[in-house]
């Protein structure tokens, strides 16, 4: 099963990754803040991740790693 792993402390909350996921499973975690004071991005339903790595490719802060 593919997995997208988000380093929440690197995230600056730009939301770019939420715009490219074909499964629409990347969302901002508005219930918490990281150390920089941003709501971090994350995956809502990892079972739907197809491992395309679009999210990792678009992240300007290299905060996402995708495993297949």
Pairing outcome for strands 64-67 and 41-43: unpaired
- 33 vs 52 by CB, closer to ligand SF4: 52
67 SS3 class: strand
* Contact positions with ligand SF4 (CB under 6 A) in 23-62: 23, 25-26, 41, 43, 49-55, 58-59, 61
Taking the complex as a whole, the smallest distance from the CB of residue 57 to ligand SF4 amounts, in Å, to 9
The C-alpha angle with vertex 56 and arms to 24 and 45, in degrees rounded to 5, equals 35
In the chain, DSSP finds a helix count (H) and a strand count (E) of: 2, 4
What residue ranges bind ligand SF4 (CB under 6 A)?
Answer: 4, 6, 11-17, 20-23, 25-26, 41, 43, 49-55, 58-59, 61, 63-64, 66
């Amino acid at each position: 099963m593919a997995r997208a792993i988000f380093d929440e402390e690197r995230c600056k909350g730009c939301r770019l990754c939420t715009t490219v996921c074909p499964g629409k499973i990347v969302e901002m975690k508005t219930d918490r803040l990281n150390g920089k004071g941003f709501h971090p991005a994350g995956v809502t339903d990892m079972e739907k991740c197809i491992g395309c790595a679009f999210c990792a490719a678009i992240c300007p802060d290299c905060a996402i790693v995708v495993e297949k």
